[in-house]
Amino acid sequence: MTNYLADTSYLAVIPETNEGEALKPTHFIPLVSESVRSDLAHEADRRIKGNSWKSDDLLRGSRKHEGDIVVFADPDSLGHLLNMVFKKGVTTGDATDGYIHPFTVGAVKSYTIEIGKGNYAQRFFGVKGENLKLEFVDGKLQATLSVKAMKQVSVVTLAAALTGVGMTTVTLKQDYDLKPNEGFVIGDIITVGGIDITLTGVETDGITLTFIATDVTASIGDSVVLKLQTPSYTDLVEPFFQGNALVGVGADETASTTAAGAKATATAMYEFVINKLNNLLNAPASGSMDPIKLLPRTQEASLAISQLFETEAQHQDWLDRIKQAITMIISGKIIGAGLEGLTWKFYKVKLLTNEEALNVGEYIFDKQEFEVLYDSDVAKATDLSLTNRSAGTIYGD
């Protein structure tokens, strides 16, 4: 029996043209880990049937597909994660000096993502970001994206035998879904009966896949597998680094951005963790066994910070609930006359907690948690911009 090392897997992503309509992912992002799973809501059939055993079968319920993707946040790949959590604005700049992508709170882009699982690929579509966590781990910016998806396709089941020469269609069983061919796209390679086949059609009946005449033999009940892609990382760049980040703290955004503009005026942060939540609606509805819509609800964000204690100022700000603003600017490598970079602004934050623990032989730190608040003066809570080598079309413009 063949076993499979997790290191041979991959993550591939692509923004969808139409929300919930799968595409073949083409951008590969190296994984640190992932835990995206399908909850099929199988339950024991507890109807009374004249015997004393708990159940003789399982019943299906409303399905959910969700979990975490953990990657190092490089300037190009980070754009895809932000695109699933924020509303992307109009890209400016060019390939010579770098593209600048603005992001604000608003309607997010849906994605198709694909994860290699041993000898098959699992494709989730209609994917959006529930929560994005950015933190520095061993000096590198690490992103944990919690996602939810509308549907998945991976391994389906043959409903009609394939009998050899001249086969042109695969008919699928409906044990999992009434439309088991949803999620496949023209150009996909499937494996059935030990033969790799390139799809030429995904029929509207929901159960049929078509291909050019092929010599293939398989029995009813055999697996039809979405074949793994071969990942490519030729354009991969380094992640953002903590040593290249400057954090400014001020009474308002102007002051915090000015402070973040130079090392001499920035505040050294030993920990800096951002959490942005979308609180997606993920409820069952008529029309689908899976979530039919994934809609952002109340938006929120928080910061967790660790900085050296120097004065009582932060303690006073905590006690009095004083407004502050925080700007983080991370720089990367040169692009022509520009730089790779991430600028993230928080216009109004207030301290939830401010701990100054004492430990023998250790310096005192302000360990702080901030709530990111809506600033009525500027009619926003947060926004950010990303500069990289990727044109806006990569993110679905």
Q: H or E segment at 349?
A: strand 338-355
Model confidence pLDDT, tens digit, residues 335-390: 999 999 999 999 999 999 999 999 999 999 999 999 999 999 999 999 999 999 99
From residue 289, alpha-carbon distances to 63, 157, 284, 395 in Å are: 6, 18, 7, 29
Q: What average pLDDT does this structure show over 101-112?
A: 96
Q: Which residue has the tokens 């250790």?
A: 362
With 90 as the cut, is the pLDDT of residue 1 above it?
no
Residue 82's SS3 state is helix
- Answer left, alpha or beta for residue 269, where phi above 0 means left and psi between -120 and 50 means alpha: beta
What's the pLDDT at 197?
98
Q: Give alpha helix (H) positions in 49-134.
A: 75-83
What's the pLDDT at 172?
98
Within 20-63, strands assigned E span: 27-29, 33-34, 37-39, 43-44, 58-59
Vertex 138: Cα angle to 382 and 73 (nearest 5)? 45
Model confidence pLDDT, tens digit, residues 235-292: 899 999 999 999 999 999 999 999 999 999 999 999 999 999 999 998 878 888 899 9
What's the pLDDT at 374?
97
With 80 as the cut, is the pLDDT of residue 19 above it?
yes
Vertex 189: Cα angle to 188 and 195 (nearest 5)? 160
Give residue 80's identity as a one-letter amino acid code. Answer: H
Positive or negative torsion for Cα 181, 64, 118, 71: positive
What is the distance between the alpha carbons of residues 397 and 393, in angstroms, rounded to a whole number?
Answer: 5
Confidence of residue 16 (pLDDT cuts 50, 70, 90): very high
Q: H or E segment at 257?
A: helix 253-259
Give residue 356's identity as a one-letter amino acid code. Answer: E
CB 147 within 8 A of CB 132: no
pTM to 2 decimal places? 0.94
φ, ψ for residue 391, nearest 5 deg: -65, 160
Q: What average pLDDT does this structure show over 52-73?
A: 94
From residue 376, alpha-carbon distances to 70, 209, 320, 373, 379 in Å are: 34, 54, 19, 9, 5
Q: Which residue has the tokens 């399908």?
A: 38
What's the pLDDT at 251?
96
What's the pLDDT at 2?
85
Model confidence pLDDT, tens digit, residues 161-205: 999 999 999 999 999 999 999 999 999 999 999 999 999 999 999
Q: What average pLDDT does this structure show over 55-75?
A: 95
Model confidence pLDDT, tens digit, residues 73-100: 999 999 999 999 999 999 999 999 999 9
What's the pLDDT at 317?
85
Sketch the domain layout of the chain as residue ranges.
6-39+61-152+234-395, 159-221
What is the rounded average pLDDT for all residues in the chain? 96
* Proportion of the chain above pLDDT 90, given as a percent: 92
What's the pLDDT at 287?
86
